[in-house]
Structure 1
Amino acid sequence: MNAIKINTPLEYPIAVTEFISDTSNDNCVIIASATGVKQNYYYNFATFLSDNHYSVYTFDYGGIGDSKSGPLSKFSTTASAWAENDFESVVKHVKSKNPNRKLFIITHSIGGQLIGLVPSNNLFDGVIMVASQSGSWIHWKGFDRLKMQFLWYALIPSFSRIFNYLPSSHLTRMEDLPKGMALEWAKWCKKPNYHFDCIKNVKENYDQIKCKIKSYSIDNDFYATVSAIDWIASQFKKSEVTRVHLKAEEFGVKDIGHFGFFRSQFKENIWQIFLQDLRKFEN
């Protein structure tokens, strides 16, 4: 495991951790984190993939974890920049070190939304999307829909402006978020077509991805309904997309939820499924 910092066009550094395989010609995997989740949450999974002959790269988005270099109230970035600057810089770093190896992406939650905005996403050779969804409130029902509307229309905008960042660690398990990121994210989530209603040329950017995609959902995931995951998966028009819905009972547990996929207890089952997906991408 090797922790480094890479420079970016927006002049803030991104923290990257490299899990380099012992085999010199092995293919590469970038793990794109969920919103406000530090890269170290994925370290055990990254080590597992490295032990199975992949060179793996995790990273923290700007303002998160080891990519946070000062008071968040004084740091400026956006959700779009997390894709176009941060994620893009990691892709370029990995490809510059491994120009002749295949590059696979594993996304968690917002990571699967951002891949369509990464300028160099045409370099992807396969994508596994884990609980990656649209955040638009239209994909929730009943009281849950009201909670999502309150979140996007009231709580996030007001708290972000009051504190000059989003103090989400006091509200959820997420890390605090930069103000610009939180406000743009909330703007997307107010729209029925999510960031497709907000960003110019987003369809063309998504159409650059032409590799195979596996998209996973799980029961009882408040943050990623089946409808929301189906919607984002359907936007990759030029890719061969396979949707897979898992049930916790299949793995001997009562609940897995939005964050459970990457817990070490699933090393012998869910992680093996993801590993087999990567193996199939290689063929």
Structure 2
Amino acid sequence: MSDIQTPQTIKKPLDLLTLDNVGIRAYHYQPNSESSEDPTGIIVIGSATGVPQGFYKRFAEAAVSQGFEVITLDYRGIGESAPATLKGYHMDYLDWARQDLAAGIEYAQTERRTRQLSCRLIMVGHSYGGHALGLLPNIEHIDGAYIFGAGAGWHGWMPALERFKVRLLWNVIAPIVVKLNGYLAWNSFGMGENLPLNVYRQWKHWCKFPHYFFDDPKMQHMHEVFARYDKPLVAVNAIDDKWAQPASRDAFFKGYKNAQITNIDLQPSDCGLQKVDHMGYFKRDATAIWDEVFAWAKTLR
């Protein structure tokens, strides 16, 4: 596949291979110019659950206009990394981070090394991406992380109506849909890509706990795993984000006990928006939010 170009941006397709030999489709956004200057930074995007990488295209193009290069990718089972059918498809939810996102980070690190770049490697995460950061086996390559809409997933942190809807989804609707299809037909709810069976099972299980998998007796090693990250970390949660309220973020981000954390409770009106909710951080009209990311990333040393 050839590079896809716009007047400002080259979108280069990548076929990444994970350490467990799974092919992942990714894209490398670069400026459409012959400039010899180093990029301001390389950003790797950790997507939300069930959200294909194309959703982050506008953010990536805006970042390129600010001097950054950007890597996006589809996790296994999602988007351009999906098999012909999810029925009978087996995977571990955590491998989206430990294998797939890790491959994207390794690609970015290789770019820095082979091109002898002095720029920073920054992770921008959305929802699951805030979990993925702490799971990365090559977390030492990350110089800073900016996370949107990540939380513990427990229904108790949600507003009352959303709490009811989520419990209905997990306990009544989703089990029926999964039994009929062999996977979670998430797309039928208008909530993103269809999800592999184990993603559904593991996600549902950990959402039973107020602190997500940190409360799972079988996952106590996660405290040590997440404690590895000791770099700058900005965690932004809109006050109208029903799936990841600031309290939900605080419950989960206790796991990043050694990070240099800045928590931001975002008022939609502060960035000229009527609402943000869980997906608005990366929609077309969120440029004021993105400008904060770029300004912060330029301060990293």
Task: State which of 245, 260, 263 in structure 1 corresponds to 2:280.
Answer: 260
Contact 1:6 1:14 in 2 (8 A): yes
Residue of structure 2 in register with 1:40 after alignment = 54
The 3-state SS of whatever aligns with 2:43 is strand
- Residues 190-227 of structure 1: per-residue CA shift (max 9 Å, x gap): 12321112425211111111110111111221221121
> What is the CA–CA distance in structure 1 between the aligned matches of 2:140 and 2:211, rounded to whole Å?
23
The question of whether the paired residues in 1 share the 8 Å contact of 2:234 and 2:262 is answered with yes
Q: How does 1:120-139 map to 2 (within 5 A)?
A: 120-139=138-157
In the alignment, which residue of structure 2 is the partner of 1:25?
Answer: 38
Q: CA deviation at 1:271?
A: 1.4
TM-score of the superposition, structure 2-length normalised?
A: 0.87
3-state secondary structure, aligned to 1:245: strand
Instruction: Describe the shift of the 1:270–1:193 C-alpha distance in structure 2 as closer, same or farther (beyond 3 A).
Output: closer
Q: Distance in 1 between matches of 2:135 and 2:180?
A: 29
Residue pair 2:159, 2:242 contacting (<8 A) in 1 also? no
Once the two structures are superposed, residues 120-175 of structure 1 have per-residue CA deviations (whole angstroms, 9 ceiling, x without a partner) of 11221100011111112231253432332333344334433431111010013211
CA distance in 1 between counterparts of 2:105 and 2:92 reads 18
Match of 1:280 in 2: 299
Q: Does the CA-based 8 Å contact 1:159-1:167 persist in structure 2?
A: yes
Structure-to-structure mapping, 1:69-80, within 5 angstroms: 69-80=83-94
Aligned to 2:20: 10
Is it true that 1:93 corresponds to 2:107 in the alignment? yes
- Give the Cα–Cα distance (whole angstroms) in 1 for the partners of residues 232 and 175 of structure 2: 36
| Structure 2 unaligned blocks of 5 or more | 1-10
1:211 aligns with 2:231: yes
AA paired with 2:293? F
2:28 alignment partner, SS class = strand
Deviates more, 1:50-59 or 1:147-156: 147-156
2:120 pairs with 1:102: yes
* Structure 2 CA distance for partners of 1:24 and 1:76, relative to 1, 3 Å: farther
Change (3 A) 1:193 1:92: same
> Aligned partners of 1:61 and 1:158: how far apart in 2?
25
Higher helix share: 1
Residue 233 of structure 1, aligned match among 249, 253, 258: 253
Q: CA deviation at 1:251?
A: 2.8
**Whole-angstrom distance in 1 between the partners of 2:210 and 2:257:** 18
Distance 1:24 1:216 in 2: 31
Counterpart AA for 2:68: Y
What aligned pairs does 1:94-173 form with structure 2 within 5 A after superposition?
94-99=108-113, 101-173=119-191
TM-score, length-normalised on structure 1? 0.92
Aligned mates of 2:227, 2:248 — CA distance in 1: 19
Q: Distance in 2 between matches of 1:61 and 1:115?
A: 14
The answer to whether residue 206 in structure 2 is matched with residue 188 in structure 1 is yes
Q: Percent identity?
A: 23
In structure 2, which of residues 269, 275, 281 is the aligned counterpart of residue 249 of structure 1? Answer: 269
Q: How many residues matched?
A: 281
